[in-house]
Amino acid sequence: MHQLMSCYDPPYKIIMHATSKEGISVSSYILTREYDGTRLVVEASIIPANFYYKIMTKLFGWSTKYVFDDHYKKLKPYIEEEVKDW
């Protein structure tokens, strides 16, 4: 797997690209300060390498929300605490 961090501005923005036999994966998170806290925007996408992975992504792609949902809920408070200490 080949990985590239195309944007790195901690703790506010990170964009990563990964290439594997399954295809290209792009993940990013962006943090912005709001009047009542912090806004966390997470984007994840995949460009399948072939028809097989395209079908698998269509069939099971929805399940990734449930896999990562708890992690994202914990990420925001963790980063808010880190920024206070920074």
Write the pLDDT tens digit of every residue in 48-58: 999 999 999 89
Would you state the pLDDT for residue 59?
A: 93
Cα–Cα separations (whole angstroms), residue 81 to 17, 18, 37: 27, 28, 11
Which pLDDT value is given to residue 74? 81
Overall number of domains in the chain? 1
Beta bridge partners of 39: 32
- pLDDT at residue 23 in the model: 93
Specify the 3-state DSSP secondary structure of 69. Answer: helix
The whole-number pLDDT of residue 24 equals: 94
pLDDT at 83: 65
Report pLDDT digits (tens) over 7-18. Answer: 988 878 999 999
Containing structural domain, residue 20: 2-85
Kindly give the parts of the chain with pLDDT less than 70.
76, 83-86
Nearest to 44 by CA among 31, 61, 25, 58: 25
Q: Which two tokens stand for residue 2?
A: 């080949």
Q: Is 56 helix (H, G, I), strand (E, B) or coil?
A: helix
pLDDT score of 53: 92
